[in-house]
Amino acid sequence: MRETPLSNCERLFLLKAIEEKKRLDGRQAYDYRNIKITFGTDYGCCTVCLGKTRVLAQVSCELVPPKDSRPTEGIMFFNLELSSMASPGFQPSRKQSSELLVTLNRQLERCLRNSKCIDTESLCVVSGEKVWQIRVDVHVLNHDGNLMDAASIAAISALCHFRRPDVAIQGRDITVFSPEERDPVPLSIYHMPICVSFAFFQQGTYLLVDPCEKEELVMDGLLVIAMNKHREICSVQSSGGIMLLKDQVIRCSKIASVKVSEITELINKALENDRQVRKEGGKFGFAESIPKERITALKREQAPVEMKDIEETADEIVREAEAPSEAVHSPVIVATGTGQVGEGLQNTWGLEEEDAEEEFQGGMDGKEKKKGTVCVCVCVCVGCAGFTHETIVQLV
Amino acid sequence: MAGLELLSDQGYRLDGRRAAELRKVQARMGVFAQADGSAYIEQGNTRALAVVYGPHEVRGSRSKTLHDRAVINCQYSMATFSTAERKRRPHGDRKSSEMSLHLKQTFEAAVLTQLYPRSQIDIYVKILQSDGGNYSACVNAATLALVDAGIPMRDYVCACTAGFVEDTPLADLCHAEESGGGTTLALALLPRSENIALVQMDARLHQDHLDALMEAAMMACKGLSKVLDSVVRQHLQEVSVLTRE
């Protein structure tokens, strides 16, 4: 199925709102949606909810021969999948989604592999023969914009959470211990790069952090900056055919550094929580997180909406609005039988219904009568706007 | 990294350049008669060939047509003999398709696509020899090819890479400098308005150095734009002489 295009009114409305520094979900321009990080029962499984966007990352490992060019380094493999479950627009054959797929995959690779956040040399078992291949599979479960940030948070949290089996080498024998025999070992992670997306509107005049799906549809361009909490930039990527200025990029990097330190803290807290619960033997993983969200689609989330000046604005609108024009007292009456709908003209539909109503009223008691009248009023209102006033009076 | 000294104490790089020095750029326009526009560029040892067809009617599925502007179609490929190891697939892998996408985005920003509604412009770029800065060579070649095809653009699009070694930004990296694992920034610039059409950076760099690095890359792009301009002028002169006779 093709993605539903945004109508012109929706587009204009969104752009107007952005111009007025307002967002649909009541956020400020530089706010993130709520981030929720949960871990699965297995090591290396992590779900991230960024507002309604949901992403699942699973890390797995296996022993493989290394690449010829790097015999002492382990291999990192990243794979991001867009299933049609996440959005009807995602289909393997669609060109649009395959472009998105390539961008997301490459950005994830650049963010996590090229920044050397994981010590690949520690993944070597026997030089030139056996190394660990760490595979990170990221699945998009629900698409509500900003997949990149959610995917990068999920991937790095899953990598931090992951434990690989311990190995021992005796002579030429390699023994892989099961988790019962020896405690699995965590990966050594130097730093945690996290992507922050910036959406640009109106040729770069307006800037929003963490765009939701609707905002992504109207944006002109996107800038993704990956950073770690030491304020090191791990990758920058602009896309969408937009003109940027150097100052804008630098401003974005400053915003990104603040956001990244917040998110890193959140990930660390989630990891610490998970560790604590596991140690105590309490409920953890999906067993803990899923039952609470049994009805996920109908769950209503409270969005903080700015309400300060609502009443004043409403009063102002009422005050400024012109008094409603008086209903036409002597409407043009045309010959019966010509159906005309329009302001100031006789509506024959209403008259017919009125007749029908009278017949109908005969067999009803008082209460039902009232209900019937209201029903007609509504019909008439829809039928002819200019004639409403009088008709209603007549009926009541 | 890897024991290579990228910048000597005297301030020279591996190939004897200064930090802000570009490699030698040579370019020719109108190398093919068949295409609407074509160009060949050498940036040091990196060689690229670009061919432009269009604007023409949209080929393939009609659903791609845009009612208010032209569609830009880019294809990037690398010759199998372009790298030290023979390449198995000249195009179609993740890196190449990403590069095609980036080229497309760059030129969507720079070409005045709204002048050609419901049409298509094809840009095919091939790397003949790869020695670092593939993206920038492609962008520069494609710019010349677009100029040759007579397609209006906002400005020249000039791209250049920059790296960062020992607190010094290096302009126009070669393969040895790029593969060391240091920071690499690729930037496509419209020099007159200083608008950035595309920016891409890899590997770690402290936030405070970003300004200096981008400044270096922009300077390099401006240097390149002068070279491209002179190439275009020379080409025009040659063509005008030929047509007068």
Q: What is the pLDDT of residues A251-276, one digit of tens each?
A: 999 999 999 999 999 999 999 988 88
As a CATH number, domain B25-243 is: 3.30.230.70
**Residue-level pLDDT at B15:** 87
Is position A315 within any domain? no
Residue in B101, B195, B200 closest to A236 by CB: B200
CA–CA dist A243, B196 (Å, integer) = 5
Tell me the average pLDDT of chain A: 80
What's the per-residue H, E or C state across A170-214?
ECCEEEECCCCCCCCEECCECCCCEEEEEEEECCCCEEEECCCHH
Region of poorest pLDDT, from A33-42, A283-292, A358-367: A358-367
CA–CA dist A240, A199 (Å, integer) = 10
- Local structure of residue B61 (DSSP, 8 states): -
**Residue-level pLDDT at A96:** 67
What is the total residue count of chain B?
A: 245
**Residue-level pLDDT at A365:** 47
Domain range summary for chain B, segments of one domain joined by +: 25-243
- The average pLDDT across A340-369 equals 51
CB within 8 Å of A332: residues ≥ 6 apart: A344, A345, A346
A-chain CB neighbours of B193 within 8 Å are 243
CB within 8 Å of A257: residues ≥ 6 apart: A227, A231, B207
CA–CA dist B35, B29 (Å, integer) = 12
Region of poorest pLDDT, from A96-100, A337-341, B105-109: A337-341
**Residue-level pLDDT at A134:** 94
Model confidence over A38-59: pLDDT tens digits?
Answer: 888 888 999 999 998 999 999 9
Region of poorest pLDDT, from A83-92, A182-191, B99-108, B226-235: A83-92
Q: Which residue has the higher pLDDT, A91 or B212?
A: B212
Q: Is the pLDDT of residue B177 over 80?
A: yes
**Residue-level pLDDT at A99:** 84
CB within 8 Å of A354: residues ≥ 6 apart: A376, A391, A394, A395
**Residue-level pLDDT at A321:** 80
**Residue-level pLDDT at A47:** 92
ω into B55 cis (within 30 of 0): yes
> Chain B residue closest to A105 (CA)?
B94
Both A94 and A211 in one domain: the answer is yes
Both A202 and A119 in one domain: the answer is yes
Cβ <8 Å between A244 and B196:
yes
**Residue-level pLDDT at A316:** 87
A-chain CB neighbours of B198 within 8 Å are 238-239
Q: Above pLDDT 70, what percent of chain B?
A: 98
Q: DSSP assignment of B148-183, as one string?
A: HHT--BSS--EEEEEEEETTEEEES--HHHHHTS--
Please check whether residue B94 touches A, CB under 8 A.
Answer: yes
Residues A177-215 as b or e (16 or more Cβ within 10 Å = b): eeeeeeeeeebeeebbbbbbbbbbbeebebbbbbbbbbb
Q: Is the pLDDT of residue A37 over 80?
A: yes
Both A256 and A169 in one domain: the answer is yes
CA–CA dist A128, B19 (Å, integer) = 37
Model confidence over B134-146: pLDDT tens digits?
Answer: 999 999 999 999 9
- The average pLDDT across A319-329 equals 70
Selected for mutation to probe chain A from B75, B91, B98, B221 (highest A CB count within 10 Å) is B98
Both A337 and A188 in one domain: the answer is no
Please check whether residue B229 touches A, CB under 8 A.
Answer: no
Model confidence over B180-204: pLDDT tens digits?
Answer: 778 899 999 999 988 999 999 988 8
Both A354 and A285 in one domain: the answer is no
Q: Provide the CATH number for the domain around residue A269.
A: 3.30.230.70
Both A338 and A249 in one domain: the answer is no
Q: Which residue has the higher pLDDT, A389 or A33?
A: A33
Model confidence over A96-112: pLDDT tens digits?
Answer: 678 888 889 999 998 99
Which among A269, A289, A309 is the end of a domain? A289
pLDDT class of A171 with cuts at 50, 70, 90: confident
B-chain CB neighbours of A241 within 8 Å are 104-109, 197
Beta pairing partners, B199: B187
pLDDT class of B226 with cuts at 50, 70, 90: very high
**Residue-level pLDDT at B107:** 92
Provide the token pair at A295.
Answer: 């009805």
- Local structure of residue A291 (DSSP, 8 states): G
Q: Is the pLDDT of residue A362 over 50?
A: no
Cβ <8 Å between A246 and B97:
no
Give the count of beta carbons closer than 10 Å to the beta carbon of residue A291: 9
Q: Is the pLDDT of residue B33 over 50?
A: yes
B-chain CB neighbours of A253 within 8 Å are 207, 210
Chain centroid offset of residue A50 CA: 6
Number of domains observed in the structure of chain A: 2
Is position A319 within any domain? no
- Local structure of residue B111 (DSSP, 8 states): B
What domain range includes position A339? 332-395
Alpha helices in chain B (DSSP H): 94-110, 134-149, 175-179, 210-244
CB B214 within 8 A of CB B160: no
CB-based burial label for A286 (10 Å; 0-12, 13-18, 19+): middle
CB B74 within 8 A of CB B125: yes
- The average pLDDT across A194-217 equals 91
Query: Tokens 């690499």 map to which residue?
Result: B184
**Residue-level pLDDT at B8:** 86
Model confidence over B41-58: pLDDT tens digits?
Answer: 999 999 999 999 989 998
| Minimal CA separation from A95 to chain B, in Å | 10
Tell me the average pLDDT of chain B: 90
CB A144 within 8 A of CB A51: yes
Q: Is the pLDDT of residue A201 over 50?
A: yes
Is position A300 within any domain? no
Cβ <8 Å between A110 and B210:
no
Both A371 and A263 in one domain: the answer is no
Provide the token pair at A82.
Answer: 């867009």
**Residue-level pLDDT at A388:** 41
Stated pTM of the model: 0.80
CB within 8 Å of A213: residues ≥ 6 apart: A143, A144, A145
Taking alpha carbons only, the member of A249, A208, A177 closest to residue A20 is A208
Both A75 and A12 in one domain: the answer is yes
B-chain CB neighbours of A227 within 8 Å are 207
**Residue-level pLDDT at A303:** 65
**Residue-level pLDDT at A257:** 93
CA–CA dist A387, B4 (Å, integer) = 88
Q: Is the pLDDT of residue A74 over 80?
A: yes
Q: Which residue has the higher pLDDT, A386 or A250?
A: A250
Provide the token pair at A245.
Answer: 């200025």
Cβ <8 Å between A233 and B205:
yes
Q: Return the C-alpha torsion angle B144, B148, B153, B154, nearest 10.
A: 60
Three-class DSSP category at A121: helix
Is position A38 within any domain? yes
CB within 8 Å of A162: residues ≥ 6 apart: A43, A44, A59, A61, A134, A186, A187
**Residue-level pLDDT at A241:** 74
Cβ <8 Å between B195 and A114:
no
CA–CA dist A176, A199 (Å, integer) = 47
Please check whether residue A272 touches B, CB under 8 A.
Answer: no
Chain centroid offset of residue A168 CA: 44
Query: Tokens 């790069």 map to which residue?
Result: A193
Residue in B97, B109, B199 closest to A102 by CB: B97
pLDDT class of A366 with cuts at 50, 70, 90: very low
